[in-house]
């Protein structure tokens, strides 16, 4: 699932016991980087998987790393490949990602999550450690990056990226879930307060700088963006994160639009899948399963004016080419507006 976890004193605690095997340039864990050997399995609905989709696209890894896309909803067992003909992934030849986890460990005891990297030679999951997956794509897969790929994890900025990202993960990325799945008023109030305290800090930080770290896009921006893209459509109402909308925050809203309008970010967003996932799967929060029609999305295409802060999206690099895997136009009508 996208949010496996438990309730501790009626507050949400995410299960972070991931498979930590890594795919590296030197193959230290037995899985060397190799073009065509692995398949990245994602769902466009999931913010953690969305990170990997963005990074793969920005780095131009489409030819080296194929991608399987699960549907927006899942049952108690796992995500399923219901978007593919016959409900079977055309490369892995399985109907659900759980099958690849069980190929790795027939008694696999933990959450069946996306993103997951699957070894095509065995059909088994190598890792589902979403944070390490993107960092390794950025650092271990460099020989397979496209010409002009941006450096999303510069060695000189690695410590700052992680120091900025840690509270973003704790209070924002995961904080919205702590609000949404709170089992008591006290747990909700605490999560809500911490979420907005940190969003206010980010508002202040981004009022004087275009990106979170350095003068071009880094891993830190990818990590924050996928939460911001889901904020007004889902987290504001469904997760009760409703002090105000993202679109009512000057710097954060401008920052989010700046990234959305950058090739590799907004063109990975499937608003239909996002809303279907949260409103249909979370029956404890939304027992009717009714998916809201709104909010209106046209405002994502409005000018952001962030260029005045300096910097450039790709540093010394170049934008990625057109996306290989297309989000259906009706699932993201903003893209047509941006195209003109």
Q: What is the pLDDT of residues 88-130, one digit of tens each?
A: 999 999 999 999 999 999 999 998 999 999 999 999 999 999 9
- Cα 56 to Cα 145: distance, rounded to the nearest angstrom: 9
Q: Model confidence over 210-252: pLDDT tens digits?
A: 999 999 999 999 999 999 999 999 999 999 999 999 999 999 9
- Cα 262 to Cα 267: distance, rounded to the nearest angstrom: 9
- Cα 170 to Cα 156: distance, rounded to the nearest angstrom: 24
Give the closest residue to 152 by CA, choosing from 176, 136, 164: 136
This prediction's pTM: 0.96
Going by the DSSP 8-state scheme, the letter that residue 290 receives in this structure is: P
Band of pLDDT at residue 3, cut at 50, 70 and 90: low
Strands 38-43 and 66-70: parallel
Around Cβ 77, how many Cβ atoms within 10 Å? 12
The two structure tokens encoding residue 326:
């297309």
Burial of residue 46, with CB atoms counted within 10 A of its CB: 0-12 exposed, 13-18 middle, 19 or more buried: buried
Which 3 state secondary structure label does DSSP give 330? Answer: helix
Burial of residue 36, with CB atoms counted within 10 A of its CB: 0-12 exposed, 13-18 middle, 19 or more buried: exposed
Would you kindly state where each structural domain of the chain is located, as residue ranges?
Answer: 5-144, 156-269+280-339
CA dihedral (132, 9, 274, 241) positive or negative: negative
Report how far apart, in Å, the C-alpha atoms of 129 and of each of 133, 194, 253 are: 6, 25, 29
Around Cβ 163, how many Cβ atoms within 10 Å? 11
Judge whether 255 counts as a catalytic residue. no
pLDDT of 47: 98
- Cα 278 to Cα 113: distance, rounded to the nearest angstrom: 15
The two structure tokens encoding residue 44:
């466009």
Judge whether 177 counts as a catalytic residue. yes
Task: Determine the number of helices (DSSP H) and then strands (DSSP E) in the chain.
Answer: 10, 6
Q: Could you tell me which CATH number the domain at 156-269+280-339 has? A: 1.20.1050.10
Report how far apart, in Å, the C-alpha atoms of 60 and of each of 96, 139, 301, 334 are: 27, 14, 25, 23
Band of pLDDT at residue 17, cut at 50, 70 and 90: confident
The two structure tokens encoding residue 240:
């009760």
pLDDT of 11: 56
The two structure tokens encoding residue 123:
């059909």
Average pLDDT, the chain: 95
pLDDT of 225: 99
Q: Which of 46, 70, 179, 241 is catalytic?
A: 46
Going by the DSSP 8-state scheme, the letter that residue 38 receives in this structure is: E
Q: Which fold has domain 5-144?
A: Glutaredoxin (3.40.30)
pLDDT of 76: 86
Q: Model confidence over 277-289: pLDDT tens digits?
A: 999 999 999 999 9
Strands 116-119 and 124-127: antiparallel
- Cα 95 to Cα 80: distance, rounded to the nearest angstrom: 6
Q: 257 or 14: which carries more pLDDT confidence?
A: 257
Q: Model confidence over 152-205: pLDDT tens digits?
A: 999 999 999 999 999 999 999 999 999 999 999 999 999 999 999 999 999 999
Element (H, E) at 336: helix 334-339
Q: Which of 38, 101, 153, 177 is catalytic?
A: 177
- Cα 42 to Cα 81: distance, rounded to the nearest angstrom: 10
């Amino acid at each position: 699932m996208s949010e496996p976890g438990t309730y501790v004193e009626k507050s949400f605690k995410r299960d972070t016991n991931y498979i930590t095997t890594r795919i590296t340039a030197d193959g230290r864990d037995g899985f060397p980087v190799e073009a065509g050997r692995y398949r990245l399995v994602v769902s466009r609905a999931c913010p953690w998987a969305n990170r990997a989709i963005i990074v793969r696209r920005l780095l131009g890894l489409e030819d080296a790393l194929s991608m399987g896309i699960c549907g927006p909803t899942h049952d108690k067992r796992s995500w399923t490949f219901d978007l593919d003909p016959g409900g079977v992934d055309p490369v892995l030849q399985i109907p659900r990602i759980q099958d690849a986890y069980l190929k790795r460990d027939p008694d696999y005891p933990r959450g069946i999550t996306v993103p997951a990297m699957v070894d095509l030679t065995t059909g088994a999951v190598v890792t589902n450690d979403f944070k390490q997956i993107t960092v390794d794509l950025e650092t271990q897969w460099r020989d397979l990056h496209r010409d002009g790929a941006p450096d999303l994890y510069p060695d000189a900025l690695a410590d700052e990226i992680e120091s900025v990202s840690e509270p973003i993960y704790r209070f924002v990325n995961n904080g919205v879930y702590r609000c949404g799945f709170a089992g008591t008023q006290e747990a909700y109030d605490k999560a809500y307060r911490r979420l907005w305290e940190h969003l206010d800090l980010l508002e202040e930080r981004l009022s004087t700088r275009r990106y979170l770290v350095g003068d071009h896009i880094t891993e830190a921006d990818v990590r924050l963006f996928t939460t911001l893209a889901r904020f007004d459509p889902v987290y504001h109402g469904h997760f009760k994160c409703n002090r105000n909308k993202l679109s009512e925050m000057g710097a954060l809203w401008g920052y989010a639009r700046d990234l959305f309008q950058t090739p590799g970010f907004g063109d990975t967003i499937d608003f239909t899948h996002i809303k279907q996932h949260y409103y249909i799967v979370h029956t404890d929060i939304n027992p009717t399963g009714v998916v809201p029609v709104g909010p209106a999305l046209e405002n994502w295409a409005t000018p952001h004016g962030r260029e005045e802060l300096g910097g450039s999206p790709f540093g010394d690099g170049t934008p990625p080419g057109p996306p290989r895997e297309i989000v259906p136009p009706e699932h993201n009508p903003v893209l047509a507006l941006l195209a003109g």
